[in-house]
Amino acid sequence: EPEVTQTPSHQVTQMGQEVILRCVPISNHLYFYWYRQILGQKVEFLVSFYNNEISEKSEIFDDQFSVERPDGSNFTLKIRSTKLEDSAMYFCASSGGVGFRPDANTGELFFGEGSRLTVL
């Protein structure tokens, strides 16, 4: 069964460093997302991405964050200057596929297993 894969599974970084989290969405999906979950808290939406641009973002997704689809397969989340409070599990997700209307963004998201970011 196709799946969303994320790397690294765990990254430890120093405060102020840049971090890039990588995701390979399911190959025929059209919509891509990043979510995060701080330990013990709920899953929070960060950003959605469609047709090479951000379609929606939350208040959490400030100027420190950026997303990119550098090629036909990867989807990345960059945090420019990490803070202690960025420590969390980051989940990538994708949805949609061949045959869907491009604007019919379904709510059936496929999530990866997450990348745990620890900022020291």
Residues 93-112, interacting with another protein (CB under 8 A): 93, 103-112
Q: What is the largest CA-CA distance in the chain?
A: 45
Tell me the C-alpha distance between 18 and 48, whole Å. 21
Please say which residue, 84 or 104, places its beta carbon nearer to another protein: 104
Contact flag: residue 87 with another protein (CB under 8 A):
no
Min separation Cβ 104 and another protein, Å = 6
Sheet holding 65-68, edge to edge: 5-7, 19-24, 75-79, 65-68
Exposure string over 77-105, b if 16+ CB within 10 A, otherwise e:
bebeebeeebbbbbbbbbbbbeeeeeeeb
Min separation Cβ 7 and another protein, Å = 14
Choosing from 12, 43, 54, 120, the residue that interacts with another protein (CB under 8 A) is 43
**Interface with another protein (CB under 8 A):** 4, 33, 35, 37, 42-45, 48, 56, 58, 89, 91, 93, 103-114
